[in-house]
Structure 1
Amino acid sequence: MAIQRNTKQRAAVLQAIEEGHPDCGHPPYDIGAIAYMLGTEDSIGTAGALGYYQLSKPIPLCSLHRILNDLHREGLITFEMKMVDASAAGRLPRRQRHWQIAGLEVYNGLFNELAGLMRRARVVHGCTNSFFGKTWDEPAKSEAERRLLTDALKSFLQRTHPDKVDGCADLFSSAKTALDYVRTRKKVEGVVLELPARAG
């Protein structure tokens, strides 16, 4: 179904969801992240975001809710409900919509799964962490933890093999690099475990 009212605001929301923002992680995005990307809630980068998305003024949150629902009705974006634990902010846990471009749900799910596996693979041989000027050594993972991570990476490789699935070759090669790194018995200098550029 075609967009009936293709306004600048709708185009800006679609562009923000499609391109993402480094501060907001990987899709799907909640409405707070979309508002942040558009410069609606952050006062520091508002002028830059408005110029980038060719908006004359910030989109109010009530209008952003309406635009997202309209785009969903037209089949351009989809959402999934996620539980949000806001206990640190003094709120009760709640379900919240997380939005993404229609047709990329499977890829985004695999991408987020790989991000978690890569985070675990980076510290498999131990690492030095730094937080507010304090450093500490994180020990290498045990053989049982390494085996569990190896099995998870093998399973991921089977699900994203280029012969079985189209469009996931970048995820497959990144997971293969991570599996080779986990299988080595000692830390290899110069090996960089990075996620591929997000499709979209």
Structure 2
Amino acid sequence: MTRMNYQSARFLTSAPTLAQCPSDDGAEVAFAGRSNAGKSSAINTLTRQKALARTSRTPGRTQLINFFTLGDDMTRRLVDLPGYGYAKVPEAVKLEWQRHLAEYLHGRGSLRGLVLVMDVRHPLTEFDQTLLGWADDQNMPVHILLTKADKLKSGAAKSALQQVRNRLREWEDMVTIQLFSSLKHEGIDETCARLDAWLAGPEPA
């Protein structure tokens, strides 16, 4: 298996809608999650960069689909999807975000997998379950990062991991789950191995 160089990640472009996304070729992996789940921090940790994905003190401020290229050929990409579910914005705006997320997940041919970021203390929110439903509709594999694992003692974190596994047992053929901590840099190798399998693996049939 080819190992991707995630430290080479560079900002490519932002798009408000599917129609304005970059050329739909190559392979990309998208990161999704509630705005306060640590999604941007996870991307920055995986790429060993402090501000590749901008973190904000106001969760939900980013409303664009952000693309990062790995290397110079732009055929391998990481995608930061808009955070959702926490921002204090009008309901109409939230529904618009949700529509664009659904269009991206349903219509993006180069999408190989979805990394769903959840706070280990508050997993499987309504939004998380909605995303899992969209992924299931598309037969899209999902890798769940239970972030902020450093906020719990080891035993409690492992218990939370097992509880999520148990709740998603019916989806175990399409969902993998792990603990992750940006603060402690824990879970990086496991996550990168999953990304490698999607981005550097063979084209899907």
TM-score (normalised: structure 2):
0.31
Structure 1 length-normalised TM? 0.32
Instruction: Compare the two structures and name the one with the higher helix fraction.
Output: 1
Q: Which has the higher strand share?
A: 2
